[in-house]
Structure 1
Amino acid sequence: MQPPDSSVHYSRWDDSSQDQVSMAAVSSTEEPSCCQRISRKLCSGKLGVAMKVLGGVVLFWVIFILGYVTGYYVHKCK
Structure 2
Amino acid sequence: MQSPESGVQYSRWDDSSRDEVSVAAVSSTEEASCCQRISRKLCRGKLGIAMKVLGGVVLFWVIFILGYVTGYYVHKCK
Structure 1 and Structure 2 fold alike (TM over 0.5): yes
1:47 is matched with which residue?
A: 47
Aligned identity (percent) is 67
Q: Which structure 1 residue ranges, 5 or more long, are not aligned? A: 9-17
User: 2: CA distance between counterparts of 1:5 and 1:56?
Assistant: 36
2:65 is matched with which residue?
A: 65
1:14 is matched with which residue?
A: none
Calculate the TM-score normalised by the size of structure 2.
Answer: 0.69
**Paired residues, number:** 69
1:28 is matched with which residue?
A: 26
How far the C-alpha of 1:76 sits from its partner, in A, is 0.2
> Cα 1:5–1:71, aligned 2, differ >3 Å: closer, same or farther?
farther
> Cα 1:71–1:25, aligned 2, differ >3 Å: closer, same or farther?
closer
Taking CA–CA contacts closer than 8 Å with sequence separation of 6 or more, which of the two structures ends up with the larger relative contact order? 1
Q: Which structure 2 residue ranges, 5 or more long, are not aligned? A: 11-15
User: Over the residues paired in the alignment, what is the CA RMSD in angstroms?
Assistant: 3.0
How far the C-alpha of 1:21 sits from its partner, in A, is 1.8
How far the C-alpha of 1:56 sits from its partner, in A, is 0.2
